Chains A and B, each alone.
Chain A
Amino acid sequence: MNLEVALRHRFGAFGLDAKFRVERPGITALFGPSGAGKTTVVNAIAGLLRPDEGRIVIDGETLLDTAARIFVPARLRRAGYVFQDARLFPHLSVEGNLRFGWLRTGRRATQTEFDEILDLLGLETLLGRKPARLSGGEKSRVALGRALLASPRLLLLDEPLAALDAARKAEILPWFERLRDRARLPMIYVTHSADEVSRLADAIIVLEAGRLAAQGSVFDILSDPELGALVPADGAVFPARIVEQRADRLTALGFDGGTLLVPRISRPAGTPIRVRMRADDVMLALAAPEAISANNVLPAEVVAIRTRDANADIRLICGNVRFVSRITQSSLARLALVPGMQVFAIVKSVTLYPQPGPDSG
């Protein structure tokens, strides 16, 4: 899988000039403030917008090349698109919506695959309903199923959860997780949400005012305080694995730099886990603290310091894992932290998510 995008487009005061590459399946989050050009990029990939200049190539097939006057129309691109407002066809039942793309695709999924996607997204019980009778979360799931059943070779998701309240989001996020882990599709996911990115994204592309500001793995980008203003991150994420279930009802997670103890997760040893460590949940000490309630104290080295308002984001490295601690500027002065210093990071709590293993990414 290889997607190459180079776009130059201008309308009014807004100019887009961005170039990037996605080289593996999984979720690539497209980030940036409003007006950064995210939807323009996604629409250009889908073929809904013809940019002034550009080139889009997927797996060797050119979808767009303005220099060579190539423009493959949207209906032939096999780019599944999940819109923020779902855009279900109101006159068709859920089943009619799901079969719309399925009937029109050249390489139609078999009935078995059809049933699998229904099962993956929990759609069996909704088939006879009209879109007007679906909840917001159900609509998102149907829109996702409809796009998947058209046998796309990549999936474009433009803030698919933005219209949902927190409860509905929590209800649908696990479906996206399952999709990421099972569908083996490259996905471009436009979002503003730190939750969605920390939990789902494998890679991140940051756009600012129509230009590429940063690109990298979710682990690198979220632990980079320099991008703090652009990326709605509240801390780092990194991969870990279950090492052992301990007698004290804790589970030990191994990561590339040490061990974390977390409340019991009933999964076998070796299960990959994604750890989200919020910057606010990491305190710093110059000496190893004794008699302390926190289970996790990690020796780390200060890599970089970025001050903002009354706070300071301290970028740390422990083994090969980077994370961030947010302390006050007053603490920064008291501890006299400088890059290169050895410190102890006291981790108050972490959030854990399923993480696809290397075989499925």
Chain B
Amino acid sequence: MEGILHLPLALPPVVVGYLLLVILGPREPIGAWLETHFDIRFAFSWTGAALASALITFPFQYRAIRLGIQAQDAGLAEAAATLGAGPLDRFINLTLPLALPGIVAGAVTAFAASLGEFGAIITFVSNIPGETRTLPLAIYSALQEPGGESEAARLAALSIVLALLGVILAGVADRRLRAALAQ
């Protein structure tokens, strides 16, 4: 189970994109079914890009949540049990709120990482300007055109700034929430 949850981290993103295409492509059974019955289309649309990013960055999120829960004092759950709280009650009212800082920090990190997704997205939803073109795809496209170097440099700088912001924000969110819990 642990291995499967971490798989997207080890798998080449192109393979993840390929698998998505095989499962959710417009001509594949599941993809076609979703489109006919729910008018949901993932392939070659921005929703597909979001799905691919979510999948690739899932291990970040998963680790953050797991660490947030593991770091908790089991004694608090015992105390809650003696006060009449059952397992689900304890999870919702104790475990989740105490894990919140980790969950938010994980989400921010995952979001920042998803901005840089390349392989899974180009395989699954292609590189459509204004629809599925992420920053790295835009940089790649710019480099393919003659005279696109300055455009590529500009986009790379933006990418660095966004990544920095993401990391800083994750740290701030974690600290703030922890402090808020304790105040």
Task: Take A89-B76, A132-B183 as given contacts and tell me if A104 and B82 are in contact as well, using a CB distance cutoff of 8 Å.
Answer: no
- Is A74 a contact of B78 with CB atoms below 8 Å? yes
Q: How far, in Å, is B150 (CB) from chain A's closest CB?
A: 50
Chain B contact-residue range equals 10 to 19
- Is A48 a contact of B81 with CB atoms below 8 Å? yes
- Is A132 a contact of B182 with CB atoms below 8 Å? yes
Q: How far, in Å, is A262 (CB) from chain B's closest CB?
A: 41
- A-facing mask of B78-109, CB < 8 A → 1, else 0? 11111111100100001001100000000000
Contacts of B75 on A, CB cut-off 8 Å?
83, 85, 87
- Whether A130 sits at the interface, judged by CB under 8 Å, is yes
Centre residue among B75, B78, B79, B182 by max chain A CB count within 10 A = B79
Q: How far, in Å, is B73 (CB) from chain A's closest CB?
A: 8
Contacts of A76 on B, CB cut-off 8 Å?
84
Which residue of the partner chain, among A75, A91, A147, A150, contacts B181 with CB atoms under 8 Å?
A91
How distant is the Cα of A48 from the Cα of B78 in the complex, in angstroms? 7
Number of interface residues of A (CB under 8 A): 28
Task: Take A90-B181, A132-B182, A133-B183 as given contacts and tell me if A75 and B76 are in contact as well, using a CB distance cutoff of 8 Å.
Answer: no
- B-facing mask of A35-61, CB < 8 A → 1, else 0? 000000000001110000000000000
- Is B82 a contact of A48 with CB atoms below 8 Å? yes
Centre residue among B73, B80, B89 by max chain A CB count within 10 A = B80
Q: How far, in Å, is A63 (CB) from chain B's closest CB?
A: 13
Contacts of A90 on B, CB cut-off 8 Å?
98, 181-182
- Whether A73 sits at the interface, judged by CB under 8 Å, is yes
- A-facing mask of B50-87, CB < 8 A → 1, else 0? 00000000000000000000000101101111111110
* CB-based nearest A residue for B182: A132
Q: How far, in Å, is B23 (CB) from chain A's closest CB?
A: 40
Which residue of the partner chain, among B73, B79, B94, B98, contacts A81 with CB atoms under 8 Å?
B79
B contact patch SS: helix
- Whether A32 sits at the interface, judged by CB under 8 Å, is no
Task: Take A90-B98, A104-B89, A133-B183 as given contacts and tell me if A146 and B81 are in contact as well, using a CB distance cutoff of 8 Å.
Answer: no
- Is A75 a contact of B86 with CB atoms below 8 Å? yes
Q: How far, in Å, is A332 (CB) from chain B's closest CB?
A: 49
* CB-based nearest B residue for A79: B82
Q: How far, in Å, is B99 (CB) from chain A's closest CB?
A: 10
Q: How far, in Å, is A288 (CB) from chain B's closest CB?
A: 56
Which residue of the partner chain, among B76, B86, B183, contacts A130 with CB atoms under 8 Å?
B183
- Whether A101 sits at the interface, judged by CB under 8 Å, is yes
Centre residue among B78, B89, B94, B181 by max chain A CB count within 10 A = B78
Task: Take A74-B81, A83-B75, A104-B84 as given contacts and tell me if A89 and B94 are in contact as well, using a CB distance cutoff of 8 Å.
Answer: yes
Task: Take A130-B182, A132-B182, A132-B183 as given contacts and tell me if A91 and B84 are in contact as well, using a CB distance cutoff of 8 Å.
Answer: no
- Whether A160 sits at the interface, judged by CB under 8 Å, is no
Contacts of A75 on B, CB cut-off 8 Å?
81-86
* CB-based nearest B residue for A105: B84
- Whether A356 sits at the interface, judged by CB under 8 Å, is no
How distant is the Cα of A132 from the Cα of B180 in the complex, in angstroms? 11
- Whether A100 sits at the interface, judged by CB under 8 Å, is yes
- Whether A272 sits at the interface, judged by CB under 8 Å, is no
How distant is the Cα of A218 from the Cα of B95 in the complex, in angstroms? 42
Contacts of B182 on A, CB cut-off 8 Å?
90, 130, 132
Q: How far, in Å, is B69 (CB) from chain A's closest CB?
A: 14
Q: How far, in Å, is A104 (CB) from chain B's closest CB?
A: 3
- Is A89 a contact of B80 with CB atoms below 8 Å? yes
Task: Take A83-B75, A90-B181, A91-B97 as given contacts and tell me if A100 and B82 are in contact as well, using a CB distance cutoff of 8 Å.
Answer: no
How distant is the Cα of A75 from the Cα of B79 in the complex, in angstroms? 9
How distant is the Cα of A91 from the Cα of B182 in the complex, in angstroms? 6
Contacts of A133 on B, CB cut-off 8 Å?
183
- Is A100 a contact of B83 with CB atoms below 8 Å? yes
Task: Take A90-B182, A91-B97 as given contacts and tell me if A146 and B76 are in contact as well, using a CB distance cutoff of 8 Å.
Answer: no
Contacts of A186 on B, CB cut-off 8 Å?
none
How distant is the Cα of A130 from the Cα of B180 in the complex, in angstroms? 10
- Is A150 a contact of B84 with CB atoms below 8 Å? yes
Additional 8 contacts, C-beta under 8 A, given A100-B80, A130-B182: A48-B78, A48-B82, A73-B81, A76-B84, A87-B73, A87-B79, A104-B84, A150-B83
7 residue pairs A–B, Cβ–Cβ below 8 Å: A75-B82, A80-B82, A81-B79, A81-B82, A87-B78, A100-B83, A146-B83
